[in-house]
Amino acid sequence: MQIKLLGLISLLLLSNQIIYSQYAGKYENEKQLSLDGKYRIYRHDIGYVLMANEKFEGTRLLKENEDRNKNEGFDLRGLIGSWESNDTLQVYRFDKTLDKYKDTICRISFEKYYDLVVKVKTYHSLDSYGYEEYKFNNYKILKNRIVINDIEKVFDKSSPNKKTVSFPLGGVEFNEKDGEIKSIMVSIVKTRYDYEKEMEPGKYSKEKRASIEYTNLYFYPKKSIKIDTTNFRGVFLDIR
């Protein structure tokens, strides 16, 4: 029985690797180094991933010494959420078979790849994708978090500006050009019960139902900020 179980686990892990046999390294254009530097995560551009499907194939985990252009590593089959510690990574997945409007409770499970524990939060399928835009003055990266200071919302001028916001590393992406920050993007999952549905142009109705939204928060610098991403960990960087 133990031999059969080990064989099944090996088969499941192998199936995660096979997905890369035809396109390993060809279409991945963002890279993240783990907090301890032992692993690399590659993914497609997040916009492409969201439009493609809700299985989110194309988020690949490799050891630092593995070749991204070969059939190596494992497909995490989800969206990167946050680093909970050096050896624990939280990932979002979405399951269309779950009751879509019943509640916003997620199902939690654990998987292990190499010596890395992956904590999987599975929600029902996504209802919507959103984005918000802000301006900021400066930022700093702590042990496993990013702190962004002097926040000003771009569109909703009536909402009070926050002095500081903080997010765990993992679902963070830096966009830079010629050594300057162009934007910082933070991806989060929002859950709520009041879901607005557009009945006709300009007219909305609120339905009391559970809703899951994947939101990208864009932060644009108010002034020029120089950056050196050489030793960045826990954030995605463009490698195109």
pTM confidence score = 0.78
Ramachandran class of 102: left when φ > 0, alpha when ψ lies in -120 to 50, beta otherwise: alpha
Q: Does residue 160 sit within a domain?
A: yes
How, if at all, do strands 39-43 and 59-63 pair? Answer: antiparallel
Same domain, 71 and 144: no
Q: Are residues 134 and 92 in the same domain?
A: no
75 in any annotated domain: yes
Last residue of a domain, one of 101, 124, 147: 124
Q: Tell me, yes or no, whether 172 and 92 share the same domain.
A: no
d(CA 132, CA 214): 11
Confidence of residue 67 (pLDDT cuts 50, 70, 90): confident
Structural domain contains residue 163? yes
Owning domain of residue 32:
23-124
Nearest to 185 by CA among 158, 156, 162, 214: 214
Distance of CA 88 to the CA centre of its chain: 15
What integer pLDDT is reported at residue 21 of this predicted model?
36
Is residue 145 domain-resident? Answer: yes
Give the pLDDT of residue 206.
65
Are 117 and 150 in a shared domain? no
67 and 147: one domain?
A: no
Give me the chain's average pLDDT, please.
79
User: Given a cut of 70, is residue 17 above it in pLDDT?
Assistant: no
CA distance linking residue 70 with residue 12, whole number of Å = 19
The confidence score (pLDDT) of residue 37 equals 94
Q: Report residue 53: phi and psi, to 5°.
A: -170, 175
Q: Last residue of some domain: 124, 158, 182?
A: 124
Same domain, 116 and 134: no
Pick the last residue of a domain from 103, 124, 145.
Answer: 124
Tell me: do 71 and 161 sit in the same domain.
no
Judge if 157 and 85 occupy the same domain: no
Q: For residues 109 and 44, state if they share a domain.
A: yes
171-215 tens-digit pLDDT: 999 999 999 999 999 999 988 776 666 566 767 666 666 778 889
Looking at the fold, whether 99 and 181 belong to one and the same domain comes out as no
Q: Give per-residue pLDDT as tens, 118-176.
A: 999 998 877 778 889 999 999 999 889 999 999 888 876 555 667 899 999 999 999 99
Report the pLDDT value the prediction gives residue 13, as an integer from 0 to 100: 39
How many separate domains does the chain show? 2
Query: Does the pLDDT of residue 45 top 70, yes or no?
Result: no
pLDDT, tens digit, for every residue of 90-118? 999 888 776 665 667 788 999 999 999 99
Q: What percent of the chain clears pLDDT 90, i.e. is strictly above it? A: 42
86 & 142 share domain: no
CA 52 vs CA 58, 90, 104: distances in Å? 10, 22, 23
Q: Which of 9-13, 24-28, 67-71, 138-142 has the lowest mean pLDDT?
A: 9-13
Looking at the fold, whether 28 and 66 belong to one and the same domain comes out as yes
pLDDT, mean of residues 211-228: 91
pLDDT above 80: residue 221: yes
Residue 18 has pLDDT above 70, yes or no: no
